[in-house]
Amino acid sequence: MGYANEMQNKLPVIEFTKENSHPHSTSWISTRENVVRALEDYSCFIANYDKISLEIHEAIFRASKELFDLPVETKILNTSEYPGHGFLGQQPLIPLYESLGIENTTTPQGVQRFTNLMWPNGNDSFRESVLLYSKLVGKFDQIVMRMVSESYGIEKDYETIRESMTYLLKLIKYRGPKELEKKVGLSPHTDKSFITILHQHQVKGLEIKTKDGQWLVVDPSPSSFIVMAGDACMAWMNGRIEPAEHRVMMSGNEERYSLGVFTYIKDLIVQVPEELVDDEHPLQYKPFDHYKFLHFYFTEEARRSKCPIKAYCGL
């Protein structure tokens, strides 16, 4: 664990090995504490997870480059009912940013659907790399959430949520800024997801804000992932864990590729577990529908509010 009790100007780093990723092991318990402490203090942590090999890392970013090299006319075919889950690019406020979302990315059907849309004649290596990567990250997400829910004694509640969890993979590309162009890749925000797991390729740019207001740069590494809490996690956890504020700043003129796996809860009314409500922690959130929140986020009311999730279901 890379941090002491007091806040430092470094994000917590947690190693995940075969040993401590196994429930009932002694190191599982200590890792669990570190995970919860990191999420409470920083809303995120850097995870070194060796199940995702260098080979998988390279394959998924190769797949991503191949995807972005497709013509825009093809990429815009990826649409979604949910703003931001389809194709995004050439947005006036974030001109460097481009992304494509793959819904249900941990299922063969989800990945197949997307692959066929982009390559009507198929693309096996793309399909296989995406599915393998998504499944591994999805499993990792479940390890993390199991640790969190055990630690708060809310395993049963998590079990219900887990059954309704869907995964979205966003493949993201930033072009380098031109001379005199602003260097903002992505403006400061929190994610609307439950949990987000980010992965960068070679070029840094991701920055996370600490509670005392400093922006910390996250260095890319093939085996490291950034696990962040999203807005929905805060509402489910009655505010115990806050969402991580982050942004992307481009420094050189090199292109930057990154991946985000976002979890969402579908077809379930999410409720704060009873265990998280007491005199010290009065109930702060009404039961909510995560996907309805995604729609709400793009309304005028949400735009005007400082914290859309609170505007949506806060008490």
Cα distance between residue 242 and residue 76, in whole Å: 34
> Applying CB under 6 A, does 248 fall inside the site for ligand AKG?
yes
Q: Which is nearer to ligand AKG, 151 or 224 (CB)?
A: 224
Residue 206 contact among ligand AKG, Fe ion, none, beta carbon within 5 to 8 Å by kind: ligand AKG
Could you tell me if 258 and 196 are in contact, meaning their C-beta atoms sit under 8 angstroms apart?
A: no
* Residues in 196-235 that interact with ligand AKG by CB under 6 A: 198, 200, 206
* Residues in 170-199 that interact with Fe ion by CB under 5 A: 191
> Applying CB under 6 A, does 46 fall inside the site for ligand AKG?
no
* Helices within the chain (DSSP H only): 26-42, 54-68, 72-75, 108-118, 124-152, 155-163, 231-236, 290-297, 300-304, 308-313
Spell out, one character per residue from 84 to 103, where the chain touches ligand AKG: x when CB under 6 A holds, - when not: --------------------
What are the C-alpha distances in Å from 275 to residues 132, 152, 281, 283? 36, 8, 10, 11
Q: Which is nearer to ligand AKG, 147 or 248 (CB)?
A: 248
**Amino acid residing at 307:** C
Per-residue exposure over 229-238, b if at least 16 CB sit within 10 Å of its own CB, e if not:
bbbbbbbbbb
Among 141, 157, 191, 207, binds ligand AKG (CB under 6 A): 191
Largest distance between two CA atoms of the chain? 60
Among 144, 186, 235, 309, binds ligand AKG (CB under 6 A): 186
Binding site for ligand AKG (CB under 6 A): 170, 172, 186, 191, 198, 200, 206, 246, 248, 258, 260
